[in-house]
């Protein structure tokens, strides 16, 4: 009987580690200013994807309004920073609190809906938010966006654009990923998604 050749198996985290190492090497050695900007924007959307993974992946709720809440937090930061002169230390918690409160307000009735009715209701919320953002140029800047939004200031240090800003954004991504990982291994994460969504209705 021929002996089987030993197979090389890597830990589950090896792929993530290799990906992080390649990302860091690209940012430090090869990325142009435009590449760093793309990397920074990618980190912002990675945070949004982590949030959607919690809602849909753990909760089993197909919410099409996730981008609306994400944008609401961004507008809270942009409006308070550019028009009211608030700094990052003040706008950051507000950008979390405002969409959280709105989600509580609309979530109570919407979570009572089933299957595709829930998805359609959240799609309606997203469309209303989009129309308000585009058609309120005096507040949101309309389709042109908001100019003059101040940058990130951490512990009195203004984070410059380029590599420092990309590193700060991906640091928040790492923190969000850690929180999502802890949540997935908690009581809600171990429960079936259908059981989790039934407890919220």
The residues that bridge with 139 in the sheet, in sequence order, are: none
Residues 79 and 140: beta-carbon distance below 8 Å: yes
Highest mean pLDDT pick, 56-70, 77-91, 173-187:
77-91
Encode pLDDT of 18-74 as tens digits.
878 888 888 888 889 999 999 999 999 999 999 898 888 887 888 889 899 999 999
Cα 96 to Cα 27, 71, 183: the distances in Å are 28, 11, 18
SS (H, E, C) 71-89: HHHHHHHHHHHHHCCCCHH
Residues 118 and 110: beta-carbon distance below 8 Å: yes
Residues 98 and 73: beta-carbon distance below 8 Å: yes
Encode pLDDT of 142-155 as tens digits.
888 888 888 888 88
- Classify 161 as helix, strand or coil: coil
């Amino acid at each position: 009987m021929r002996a089987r050749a030993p197979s090389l198996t890597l830990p589950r985290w090896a792929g993530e580690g290799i990906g992080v190492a390649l990302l860091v090497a690209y940012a430090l050695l090869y990325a142009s200013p435009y590449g760093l900007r793309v990397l920074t924007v990618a980190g912002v959307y990675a945070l949004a994807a982590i949030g959607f993974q919690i809602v849909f992946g753990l909760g089993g709720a197909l919410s099409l309004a996730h981008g609306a809440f994400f944008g609401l937090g961004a507008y809270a930061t942009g409006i308070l920073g550019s028009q009211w002169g608030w700094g990052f230390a003040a706008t950051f918690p507000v950008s979390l609190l405002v969409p959280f409160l709105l989600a509580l307000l609309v979530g109570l009735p919407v979570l009572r809906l089933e299957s595709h009715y829930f998805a359609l209701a959240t799609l309606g919320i997203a469309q209303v938010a989009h129309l308000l953002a585009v058609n309120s140029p005096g507040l949101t800047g309309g389709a042109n966006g908001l100019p003059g939004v101040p940058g990130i200031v951490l512990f009195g240090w203004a984070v410059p654009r380029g590599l420092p800003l990309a590193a700060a954004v991906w640091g928040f991504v790492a923190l969000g990923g850690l929180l999502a990982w802890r949540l997935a291994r908690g009581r809600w994460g171990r429960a079936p998604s259908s059981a989790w969504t039934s407890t919220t209705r």
